[in-house]
């Protein structure tokens, strides 16, 4: 299914039911007086977080959500039935905006989290409500108030434990295919990943979620290339895994490629740039075994990287087991903080 990370919809809460104008008329009871009941309240509209959803594609075609109206009141002081509330399930990591005011209404963070986004109308009052000592037969009622109508913007950021960083064709999609059951598109040309995809990485009875983000290029933080649209997804990840192609097919310098990505993160969001990360040098299978240690050591020294480094081949699985163990250790340490 195509990943959709933003959508705009219209929501209409229910109108309150009108109050009833009625008088009691029974045999042997003269001048029975008013007995018009109140109407029912209109239905609210709620959003509820659902961890099983990972796309906003449903809202591309279903753009109108309308709660039911409250029923009108009736005689014998019978109140109209209030409408049921409408609950719309949305993915975790979704920000909800009022498009008319650009107000951020809220963000869906946890499973089953509930957010009120449109209030239903208040019920109308029947004429019984207006009875007094000087007005024994009021003919006044009130209609129900209208429900809130809002134009809503939804913007989803991928919820993941690990976000993958790297230049186009660094091997991010190949890695996520190698260590998870996700099957993103893999090819030998740039930008094969056009939409973020999620993969679940298992280690014994534990699991973490990894997000494969489209490759970034220089000036991505300023809107160049595909990466700008998805930089925000990385902000939801607990930690980052930077994939460096040890021998880029375009002849570019791995050190320069690493620094370009790190620079784009810093320009986009300093908090994002400071997230914990690991470094994986990929495509080690392309290097002669006796040269691997020196080449990778030179790269690490040049980029002044201080953390743990993994030497892998996403194609044949070389070093991937150690990388998985490192990822789980990092996430565990973050969860224990």
Q: Annotate 62-75 with three-state secondary structure.
A: CCEEECCCCCCCEC
> Is 190 assigned to a binding site?
no
> Is 263 assigned to a binding site?
no
Q: What is the DSSP letter of 310?
A: E
> Is 164 assigned to a binding site?
no
- Report the alpha-carbon distance of residue 70 to residue 143 in Å, rounded: 11
> Is 191 assigned to a binding site?
yes
- Report the alpha-carbon distance of residue 122 to residue 43 in Å, rounded: 10
H helix or E strand, kind and range, residue 97? strand 94-98
> Is 80 assigned to a binding site?
no
Instruction: Report how far apart, in Å, the C-alpha atoms of 255 and of each of 146, 165, 224, 267, 273 are.
Output: 61, 14, 21, 19, 17
Question: Are the beta carbons of 91 and 56 closer than 8 angstroms?
Answer: yes
> Is 55 assigned to a binding site?
no
> Is 145 assigned to a binding site?
no
CA atoms within 13 A on the CB side of 119: 5
Surface-to-core class of residue 106, CB atoms within 10 Å of its CB (0-12 exposed, 13-18 middle, 19+ buried): middle
Task: Single out the residue of 108, 81, 80 nearest to residue 95, CA to CA.
Answer: 108
> Is 214 assigned to a binding site?
yes
> Is 314 assigned to a binding site?
yes
> Is 188 assigned to a binding site?
no
φ/ψ of 207, rounded to 5, equals: -140, 145
> Is 78 assigned to a binding site?
no
> Is 173 assigned to a binding site?
yes
> Is 74 assigned to a binding site?
no
> Is 169 assigned to a binding site?
yes
> Is 170 assigned to a binding site?
yes
> Is 37 assigned to a binding site?
no
> Is 192 assigned to a binding site?
yes
> Is 87 assigned to a binding site?
no
Within 8 A by CB and 6+ apart from 149, the residues are 10, 11, 12, 13, 118
Structure tokens at 3: 């990943």
> Is 287 assigned to a binding site?
no
> Is 212 assigned to a binding site?
yes
Task: Single out the residue of 116, 107, 160, 177 nearest to residue 317, CA to CA.
Answer: 177
Surface-to-core class of residue 21, CB atoms within 10 Å of its CB (0-12 exposed, 13-18 middle, 19+ buried): middle
> Is 221 assigned to a binding site?
no
> Is 284 assigned to a binding site?
yes
Which residues sit in the known binding site? 166-173, 191-195, 212-215, 282-285, 313-315
Which residues sit in the known binding site for Mg(2+)? 173, 193
Which residues sit in the known binding site for GTP? 166-173, 191-195, 212-215, 282-285, 313-315
């Amino acid at each position: 299914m195509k990943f959709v990370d933003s959508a705009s919809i219209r929501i209409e809460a229910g109108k309150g039911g009108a109050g009833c104008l009625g008088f009691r008329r029974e045999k042997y009871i003269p001048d029975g007086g008013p007995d018009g009941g109140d109407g029912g309240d209109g239905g609210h509209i709620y959003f509820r977080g659902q961890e099983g959803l990972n796309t906003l594609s449903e809202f591309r075609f279903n753009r109108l959500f309308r709660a039911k109206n409250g029923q009108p009141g009736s005689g014998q002081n019978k109140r109209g039935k209030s409408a049921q509330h409408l609950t719309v399930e949305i993915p975790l990591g979704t920000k909800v905006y009022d498009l008319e005011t650009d107000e951020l209404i809220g963000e869906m963070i946890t499973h089953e989290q509930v957010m009120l986004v449109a209030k239903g109308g208040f019920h109308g009052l029947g004429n019984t409500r207006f009875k007094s000592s000087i007005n024994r037969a009021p003919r006044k009622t009130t209609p129900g108030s209208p429900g809130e109508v809002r134009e809503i913007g939804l913007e989803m950021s991928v919820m993941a434990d690990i976000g993958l960083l790297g230049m186009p064709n660094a091997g991010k999609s190949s890695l996520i295919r190698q260590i998870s059951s996700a099957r993103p598109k893999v090819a030998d040309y740039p930008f094969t990943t056009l939409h973020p995809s999620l993969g679940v990485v298992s280690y014994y009875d534990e699991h973490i979620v990894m997000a494969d983000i489209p490759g970034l290029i220089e000036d991505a933080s300023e809107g160049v290339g595909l990466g700008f649209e998805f930089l925000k997804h990385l902000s939801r990840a607990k930690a980052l895994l930077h994939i460096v192609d040890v021998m880029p097919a375009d002849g570019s310098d791995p050190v320069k490629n690493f620094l370009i990505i790190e620079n784009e993160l810093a320009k986009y969001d300093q908090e994002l740039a400071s997230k914990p990360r690991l470094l994986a040098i990929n495509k080690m299978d392309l290097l002669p075994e006796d040269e691997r240690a020196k080449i990778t050591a030179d790269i690490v020294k040049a980029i002044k990287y201080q953390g743990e480094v993994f030497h892998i081949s996403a194609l044949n699985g070389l070093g991937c087991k150690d990388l998985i163990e490192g990822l789980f250790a990092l996430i565990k340490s973050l969860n224990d903080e």
